[in-house]
Amino acid sequence: MRTYTKPVAAVTGALVLAAGLTACDGSSAASDEKVVTVYSADGLKGEAGDGWYDKVFPDFEKQTGIKVKYVEGGSGEMVQRALREKSNTQADVLVTLPPFIQQAGSKGLLQSYEPKGADQVDGGDKAGDGTWTSVVDNYFGFVHNKKELPAAPKTWEELLDAKYKDKLQYSTPGVAGDGTAVLIKAMHDFGGKDAAMEYLKKLQANNVGPSSSTSKLAPKVDKGELLVANGDVQMNFAQAKSMPNLGIWFPAKAGGKPTTFALPYAAGLVNRAPHTENGKKLLDFMLSEGAQREVSAIGGGFPARKDVKGTDANAIELAALMEGVEVFEPDWADIDKNLAAYVDAWKSATGS
């Protein structure tokens, strides 16, 4: 476990895409068609059209003449969609959060390709077999309503208070990447699966209920419909530019320090992609120095390349946000292997 100290790159903006929202039909598309289809977890595309994807994709289209077609959903949802289409592949590039990117690799959904610039990505942020590489670094977190709840809660245990009844919500583990992150962090902070499930069972008395998309929770917090919800630093930092009541915080176990873990947006080339070469070009572009600098300037996250450092005001603000927060590294191999069992245990504990 370590305390976050490395320079942080930040971003402003939430995200909507100029590119189309319809997947291409791989069965009828010619391999040289000037199109690339991206299946992505939500968070990098903004409602106001000012997010990282909103800048990077049009820039890519202008430079290459290749049109980006975009499909968005929860991390697990995107992997399941790609899995259903395995015999008739539609997507060229898959972007999703851990542990779903590892799941995609273990299920044979990804082919090996190391984008240009991948040598500047830390070893823990890319697959050893070259099937995926982080394109935007990120960390798990929570949000609170700064107007109704000026001081953020400090501990998990505080969330059991009756004042949070029907004012707390987290996205669904096994469906949303950030929802799955709730399980991962709880198991770490409480020292194991059983203790975490015992806590989440108690928390269920205050939980509004399931949500397949984490990004939909922040607006509810901003409006005061919720006091607390889960999220991630990149997405919530970007959303806070248009949602002034959002505050980011990191729960600790009573008596402990606040913790988090890296939750990067990781991208891979889909196996048997209908437009493989176009997918490679897009991955190269997303990891290029120019696009990585815009992670800090536009996207609300942290550059995946260690040779690109954010120096703007947002980077400074994010560095302050992460100060004193211990960053642990989950055992992703264990989580990939046992995710279904952990989700089942959560369902049993919460009656979900």
Q: What is the pLDDT of residues 84-121, one digit of tens each?
A: 999 999 999 999 999 999 999 999 999 999 999 999 99
pLDDT tens-place string over residues 203-254: 999 999 999 889 899 999 999 999 999 999 988 998 898 999 999 999 999 9
Q: Are 206 and 164 in contact (CB under 8 A)?
A: yes
Window from 13-17, 177-181, 192-196, 241-245 with minimum mean pLDDT? 13-17
How far, in whole angstroms, is CA 278 from its chain's centroid?
24
Task: Write down the mean pLDDT value for the chain.
Answer: 89
CA–CA distance, 63 with 282 (Å, rounded to integer): 11
Indicate the pLDDT class of residue 261, thresholds 50, 70 and 90. Answer: very high
CA–CA distance, 32 with 134 (Å, rounded to integer): 27
Q: What average pLDDT does range 335-341 have in this prediction?
A: 92
Q: Are 57 and 66 in contact (CB under 8 A)?
A: no
CA–CA distance, 268 with 256 (Å, rounded to integer): 36
Q: Strand, coil or helix: what is 336? A: helix
Indicate the pLDDT class of residue 14, thresholds 50, 70 and 90. Answer: very low
Q: Strand, coil or helix: what is 15? A: coil
Which residue, among 337, 342, 293, has the nearest Cα to 9 in the 3D structure? 293
pLDDT tens-place string over residues 127-157: 999 999 999 999 999 999 999 999 999 999 9
List the beta strands (DSSP E) in 62-153. Answer: 67-73, 93-96, 110-111, 133-137, 140-145
pTM of the entire predicted model: 0.80
User: In degrees rounded to 5, what are phi and psi of residue 350?
Assistant: -100, -10
Q: State percent of the chain over pLDDT 70.
A: 91
pLDDT of residue 334: 92
More confident residue, 25 or 210: 210
pLDDT of residue 336: 86
Q: Strand, coil or helix: what is 111? A: strand
Q: Which position has the token pair 């077999």?
A: 129
Indicate the pLDDT class of residue 124, thresholds 50, 70 and 90. Answer: confident
Contacts of residue 326, defined as CB under 8 A and 6 or more positions apart, other chains included, come to: 1, 2, 3, 4, 257, 258, 259, 260
- Number of CB atoms found within 10 A of residue 255's CB: 7
- pLDDT greater than 60 at residue 192: yes
pLDDT of residue 116: 97
- Number of CB atoms found within 10 A of residue 236's CB: 28
CA–CA distance, 306 with 310 (Å, rounded to integer): 10
CA–CA distance, 305 with 302 (Å, rounded to integer): 9
Q: Are 143 and 247 in contact (CB under 8 A)?
A: yes
pLDDT of residue 13: 33
CA–CA distance, 108 with 124 (Å, rounded to integer): 20
Which residue, among 44, 42, 64, 65, has the nearest Cα to 55 in the 3D structure? 44
The alpha carbon dihedral of 320, 119, 40, 177 has a sign of negative
| Side-chain-facing half-sphere of 38: CA atoms under 13 Å | 30
What count of residues does the chain have?
Answer: 352
pLDDT of residue 32: 64
Query: Which residue blocks in the chain are alpha helix, DSSP H?
Result: 52-64, 75-84, 100-106, 177-189, 193-203, 217-223, 233-239, 276-286, 289-294, 313-322, 332-350
- What does DSSP assign to residue 131? S
pLDDT of residue 43: 86
CA–CA distance, 288 with 5 (Å, rounded to integer): 25
